[in-house]
Amino acid sequence: MKKVLIKNIKYIVTCDEEDRLIPEGFIYIEDGVIKEIGNQVSGTKAEDGLEEIIDGKDMIVYPGLINTHHHLYQYFTRNLPQVQNLELFDWLKTLYEIWKNLDEEVIRYSSLLGMGELIKNGCTTCFDHHYVFPHKTGSRLIDVQFEASEQLGIRFHASRGSMDLSKKDGGLPPDSVVQDIDSILNDSERLVRQYHNKEAGSRKQVALAPCSPFSVSADLLKESAVLARSLGVRLHTHLAETLDEETYTLEKYNMRPLEYMSELGWIGKDVWFAHGIHFNTAELKLLADTGTGIAHCPISNMKLSSGIARIPDMLKLNVPVGLAVDGSASNDGSNLLEEIRVAYLLHRLNSSKAAPSGYDILKLATAGSARVLGRKDIGQLSVGKMADLFMINSNNPELTGADFDPKSMLGTIGIKGNAALTMIGGEIAAKDGRLMTVDEEKTAYMGRQSVYKLMNQY
């Protein structure tokens, strides 16, 4: 049994049900699970047989951040001049001409680098929405992502995404990246059976995630929902991201996006949507009543001029909301600490006194995201939860005079460097801005070779 003690912690921000802030704290961990947490004045009995003691002097410890929506493959198509002034539909149509040449190496190195950036900035669980499967590339892309997540030590929720409507059928993507429904469902079932682990402490899960209402057919949406429920896995897609999407479903199906998805079985506790910007009040109530979740992606929504999700209203109604970076090409990064800061400022600007506090936004990225992913074992620091956490060094000169409210600090002040340490399941995954299990220089070099190859085909 591996026993780890973190002691002398300046503050522990637990994000638990009582919103406890523990000064002068300690956390005792056995085999990756928190066994004791508290104030060290009262002391721990767990001093014997310790394998590792971590000094938490000056540190503020937070629960690991949880990312509820991403497209890691986009890590290699950031900051491209030709798409900087575009909104979603034109942005997608332009980028598909590059993405149609994705291969296993692009997926491997973009996953390692994108999730590496997340880990260095306090993220301990990542969901990725991968839906581009070029015909010439084979079917191992999700397997490669799981290999990358294992190498990094991060908890990884993959998705078997999909598209079956290409340009010739009125969709946006080229023919060479869409698949037929049978191939999609067969591979979805294979991946769930091979990787999905629903036990506490799971490091691998799979969701079914057709891309969006405007790139998949009604049949694929309906059959994906039936298959997901028969396999006991979650459902995810993009929804209510743009007004173009609303126009599309109104013209094609005479329904608003949520009504259309609801008709196809896409509503309930096992469903979460990315973005959720253009919902009306009745639709927000429906999300709350059914426990349908939202992945809030403020940076991407600002970058693509998509709009501002009604987060204060969602929180008031108790809609499950998590935080997410969205794809690297509409962010243009992979950093949840940055997302917390931007989310905080965006809603201050838009909602003034009704805006969530810095701590409310931190809770979206931790307990809120855990709820959206259907996990009870992560998202807060308390006895029985996984030892997923990160530390910020309050002694950094730029944080001088900034820790009067440690719970809100990540929103109000924001963290500009990396976390001092990120731990996942009791193992240190990154320290002082360096990943522990991956050679970053070599990975970056290999990544650059993949970028050159990808862009040379464009």
Binding site for Zn ion (CB under 5 A): 274, 326
Nearest approach in angstroms of CB 131 to Zn ion is 9
Which residue's CB is nearer to Zn ion, number 212 or number 366?
212
Pairing type for strands 59-63 and 389-393 reads antiparallel
Nearest approach in angstroms of CB 212 to Zn ion is 8
Nearest approach in angstroms of CB 209 to Zn ion is 10
Would you say 421 and 428 are in contact if contact means Cβ atoms under 8 Å apart? yes
Nearest approach in angstroms of CB 314 to Zn ion is 18
Nearest approach in angstroms of CB 70 to Zn ion is 8
Nearest approach in angstroms of CB 36 to Zn ion is 39
Nearest approach in angstroms of CB 302 to Zn ion is 14
Nearest approach in angstroms of CB 317 to Zn ion is 23
Which residue's CB is nearer to Zn ion, number 132 or number 152?
132
Q: Cβ atoms within 10 A of the Cβ of 408, count?
A: 17
Nearest approach in angstroms of CB 391 to Zn ion is 30
Which residue's CB is nearer to Zn ion, number 205 or number 237?
237
Which residue's CB is nearer to Zn ion, number 326 or number 339?
326
Nearest residue to Zn ion on Cβ basis: 326
**Matching residue, tokens 């929506």:** 69
Which residue's CB is nearer to Zn ion, number 13 or number 274?
274
CA 114-161-199 angle, 5° bins = 75
Which residue's CB is nearer to Zn ion, number 211 or number 355?
211
Going from the C-alpha of 6 to that of each of 27, 181, 319, 435, 449, the distances in angstroms are: 5, 50, 35, 20, 40
> Measured between alpha carbons, how far is 358 from 362 in angstroms, rounded to an integer?
6
Backbone angles phi, psi at 142, to 5 degrees: -70, -35
Which residue's CB is nearer to Zn ion, number 130 or number 407?
130
> Measured between alpha carbons, how far is 205 from 203 in angstroms, rounded to an integer?
7
Nearest approach in angstroms of CB 211 to Zn ion is 9
Which residue's CB is nearer to Zn ion, number 274 or number 372?
274
Which residue's CB is nearer to Zn ion, number 72 or number 381?
72
Which residue's CB is nearer to Zn ion, number 172 or number 274?
274
Which residue's CB is nearer to Zn ion, number 92 or number 391?
92
Nearest approach in angstroms of CB 292 to Zn ion is 17
